[in-house]
């Protein structure tokens, strides 16, 4: 059986799968930090977004840059208040090209809710897809 931290994170991934914003946010603290590589700033996808409002604004912006995305978390590793998730994402450009890219998500938890999520991935491959 998975820990409460992993269950909270799984609920967020289920929200992504179901395109359910409230489901995505269900496992996150209201003041969560949502961190993406600065290398994605060119597309409005880099940097730190704060709180549920920041995440909603970020997610509303994504369709202006990408045609679609599906996350597949594969492995969850928990140590103390940190959960690291290894997975893949199937990303589709606005032109319709789809590639599968690896990701690492580092989640910091407090009282069963995420206070920080850092998305780690190959920004060069992501740029190539967006510009294709």
Number of H helices and E strands in the chain, helices first, is 4, 6
Task: Say if domain 4-131 classifies as CATH 3.40.50.850.
Answer: no
Q: Where are the domains of the chain?
A: 4-131
d(CA 63, CA 19): 12
Question: Is the distance from CB of 73 to CB of 90 less than 8 angstroms?
Answer: no
Instruction: Give the pLDDT confidence score for residue 2 in this predicted structure.
Output: 82
Instruction: Give the pLDDT confidence score for residue 118 in this predicted structure.
Output: 98
Instruction: Give the pLDDT confidence score for residue 73 in this predicted structure.
Output: 98
Instruction: Give the pLDDT confidence score for residue 1 in this predicted structure.
Output: 74
pLDDT digits (tens, 9 = 90+) for 93-130: 999 999 999 999 999 999 999 999 999 999 999 999 99
pLDDT digits (tens, 9 = 90+) for 37-64: 999 999 999 999 999 999 999 999 999 9
Q: Is the pTM of this model over 0.85?
A: yes
The residues, ordered by sequence, that sit 6+ positions from 13 with a Cβ below 8 Å of its Cβ are 71, 73
């Amino acid at each position: 059986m998975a820990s409460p931290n992993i269950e909270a994170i799984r609920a967020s991934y289920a929200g992504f799968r179901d395109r359910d914003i409230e489901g995505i946010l269900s496992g996150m603290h209201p003041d969560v930090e949502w961190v993406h590589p600065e290398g994605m700033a060119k597309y409005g996808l880099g940097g730190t977004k704060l709180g549920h409002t920041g995440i909603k604004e970020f997610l509303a912006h994504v369709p202006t840059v990408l045609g679609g995305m599906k996350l597949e978390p594969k492995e969850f590793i928990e140590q103390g208040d940190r959960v690291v998730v290894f997975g893949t994402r199937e990303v589709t450009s606005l032109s319709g090209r789809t590639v599968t890219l690896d990701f690492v998500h580092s989640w910091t938890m407090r009282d069963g809710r995420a206070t920080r999520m850092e998305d780690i991935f190959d920004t060069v491959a992501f740029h190539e897809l967006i510009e294709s």
